[in-house]
Structure 1
Amino acid sequence: MTPPKVSVVMSVLDGEDYLREAIDSVLAQSFADFEFVIVDNASTDRTPEIIASLDDPRIVTVTNTEMLNLSQSLNKGMATACGDYVARLDADDVAMPGRLEKQAALLDSHPDVVLVASAATEFSGADDFPGTAPLIPPQDHDALMTALARDSILSHSSIMFRREAALAVGGYDEAYAYCMDYLLYFRLAERHRLAALADPLVAIRMHAGQITHRPEWEARRHREAATAFRDILARGGLAPDARRGLRRYLILTSLRMAVLSLRAAAPGKAACWFSRALATGPFLFISVVASSACRRLRRA
């Protein structure tokens, strides 16, 4: 049996509210040569029933007997996948009908590109779908990497990448529960080129149940981001503009951790994070703080 061109990989944990809409958006794609690998990450709601009710030969299911972090769960999905390309989609997001077709066409026509992302909209429900005007990422590799080093401008749900290239850099780093996509981008970029499409090919659902919006996870997310940025910088391989941008991002993240530590009545930890921000580069630190202060004054 000939393997499919694309494997869509989704991990879902207690996703009963939005899972069916996400699944339907994949099954309705204009591109036909794909399989859909759904990893049930030990859900305790109706998610297993929803998956079991699906009657489509393109769907391949994987069931985790215990909950894993997202990196681990996605790696299980990739290990099951057979496609040349892997497309990501979260279980609460929606893929536009031409998403797989357009991204697969770019990878087919650009053998030097190993990952392609796209613009994305944000929406909260049926009333505002597909949502806001998208933030359009740079399409050129160098400009894209410089922008990525300054901010997390790509939606994880928007990416498609060459499976073998991702496996060659170790797949998703299982030490990370939040920044695994960011690390994958930069590790792939050390060896290959990345690209993005200006078309908004996914709609990202914003809702209160998202882990990334829960206050109790904020400190963990920033702490992990700081570790990821240091990891990327230590590996080298970045162009000077991207390296400077990532150092700025690391300073801002360290300062956010200092503020969170003060709010948690932990002045010792706050001082440690402040020192880390300063140690990243004293002159750059001053530039970052001055720029932030100017932005606040303009908004006042």
Structure 2
Amino acid sequence: MSRYEILMPYYGDAPLMQDAVRSVLAQSGTDWRLTVVDDGRESGVPEWFEALSDPRVRYHRNERNLGVTGNFNRCVSLAEYEYLVLMGCDDLMHPNYLETVRSAVEREPKAAMIQPGVEVIGTDGRPYGTLVDRAKRKIYAPKGPGRGLFGGEDLAVSLLRGNWLYFPSICWRTEAVKRFGFRTDLAVIQDLALVVDLLVAGESLATSPEVCFSYRRHAGSESSVKAYTGSRFDEAKRFFKETACRLDAHGWHRAAKVSRLHLSSRLHAVTMLPGAARQAGRHGVSAMLKHAAR
């Protein structure tokens, strides 16, 4: 029986996307399917999938550009199996990805989210360490053996203090994601918004320490470009303020306080100052300082 729907919203670099597809095709078992949803018009892409001619792969090209969040929701609408993965089109699954996820599902069948072990790579595919990723591992992520089940206000506090998840590597229970979808008014922080929706609804997150996914981080990403102009942080400030009010109403006052403070987001703005100065000049520096100072 097919259980795992691997969805790949595509826009961008065709060779990296093809490597990502090949990494999915290397997965074990017969309980999965890959669906690529193309939000662009790059020539040669439909032909590549036609030549691939693999029954485990579906390819869709949107009639019009939907944007990042719109394409996420389009992917979710196509999911038919019990679990889904919204994989980045420049990321890589290791051959043991689905093996790791299957084990976690068997161990924690009620979890709505599964976060396996992740390595970070750069554009060249080599290990790539950043201050953000070191902070995720050393400061914000739970300490211990790496295998556990988390939820409720404690997890909300942890993630709002510093989001240590790697969104494209997460395996989600499809029903839970379809229940909420991704907020169309958010362009960068929509993944954390979905997690908060699920936690408030009583869902939980399972973690597994086995490294089985390569997350590609590079300066040209959507989030990095928006950060340099300040638009990412404008969105983040609005989200954290709204979430604080929502969590106070829900009775999660500790989490609301952390969201209102959003200290890690403000510190991140400080670390972005050199890049903002190079990429966006005085306007970028001003936006970073404004966010850092609340």
TM-score (norm 2): 0.78
Query: Residue 11 of structure 1 aligns to a residue in which SS?
Result: strand
Ranges in structure 2 where 5+ consecutive residues have no aligned partner: 143-147
Query: Residue 157 of structure 1 aligns to a residue in which SS?
Result: helix
Provide the rounded CA distance (Å) in 2 between the counterparts of 1:29 and 1:251.
Answer: 36
C-alpha distance after superposition, 1:203-257 (max 9, x if no partner): 1123343223336754111111122222322322474443333223168549949
Contact kept, 8 Å, 1:120 with 1:200, in 2: the verdict is yes
1:39 aligns with 2:37: yes
Give the residue type in structure 2 aligned to 1:189. Answer: L
Structure-2 change in CA distance of 1:238 and 1:203 (3 Å):
farther
Provide the rounded CA distance (Å) in 1 between the counterparts of 2:112 and 2:6.
Answer: 16
**Superposition RMSD in Å:** 3.3
Structure-2 change in CA distance of 1:274 and 1:106 (3 Å):
closer
Question: Which residue matches 1:167?
Answer: 178
Query: Residue 225 of structure 1 aligns to a residue in which SS?
Result: helix
TM-fit CA distance, 1:124: 2.3
Provide the rounded CA distance (Å) in 2 between the counterparts of 1:11 and 1:238.
Answer: 36
1:210 aligns with 2:225: no
Structure with larger Rg? 1
Contact kept, 8 Å, 1:95 with 1:202, in 2: the verdict is yes
Count of aligned positions = 270
Query: Residue 188 of structure 1 aligns to a residue in which SS?
Result: helix
Give the residue type in structure 2 aligned to 1:99. Answer: Y
Query: Residue 38 of structure 1 aligns to a residue in which SS?
Result: strand
Query: Residue 109 of structure 2 aligns to a residue in which SS?
Result: coil
Percent identity between matched residues is 21
Give the residue type in structure 2 aligned to 1:186. Answer: V
Contact kept, 8 Å, 2:117 with 2:213, in 1: the verdict is yes
Contact kept, 8 Å, 1:31 with 1:98, in 2: the verdict is no
TM-fit CA distance, 1:5: 0.2
Query: Residue 83 of structure 1 aligns to a residue in which SS?
Result: coil
1:229 aligns with 2:240: yes
1:264 aligns with 2:283: yes
Provide the rounded CA distance (Å) in 1 between the counterparts of 2:20 and 2:288.
Answer: 41
Contact kept, 8 Å, 1:118 with 1:154, in 2: the verdict is no
Give the residue type in structure 2 aligned to 1:156. Answer: F
Return 153-162 or 242-251, whichever deviates more: 242-251
Provide the rounded CA distance (Å) in 2 between the counterparts of 1:202 and 1:271.
Answer: 34
Query: Residue 113 of structure 1 aligns to a residue in which SS?
Result: coil
Structure-2 change in CA distance of 1:219 and 1:33 (3 Å):
same
Contact kept, 8 Å, 2:162 with 2:264, in 1: the verdict is no
Provide the rounded CA distance (Å) in 2 between the counterparts of 1:80 and 1:264.
Answer: 40
Question: Which residue matches 1:148?
Answer: 159
Structure-2 change in CA distance of 1:197 and 1:223 (3 Å):
same
Structure-2 change in CA distance of 1:179 and 1:265 (3 Å):
closer
C-alpha distance after superposition, 1:69-95 (max 9, x if no partner): 222112111111111001121010001
Give the residue type in structure 2 aligned to 1:220. Answer: S
TM-fit CA distance, 1:265: 8.9
Provide the rounded CA distance (Å) in 2 between the counterparts of 1:120 and 1:265.
Answer: 31
C-alpha distance after superposition, 1:48-107 (max 9, x if no partner): 333333211111222112221222112111111111001121010001112122223323
Question: Which residue matches 2:145?
Answer: none
1:200 aligns with 2:211: yes
Structure-2 change in CA distance of 1:42 and 1:72 (3 Å):
same
Ranges in structure 1 where 5+ consecutive residues have no aligned partner: 278-300
Provide the rounded CA distance (Å) in 2 between the counterparts of 1:255 and 1:117.
Answer: 23
Provide the rounded CA distance (Å) in 1 between the counterparts of 2:109 and 2:237.
Answer: 33
Candidates 252, 260, 274, aligned match of 1:247: 260
Contact kept, 8 Å, 1:211 with 1:217, in 2: the verdict is no
Provide the rounded CA distance (Å) in 2 between the counterparts of 1:58 and 1:193.
Answer: 30
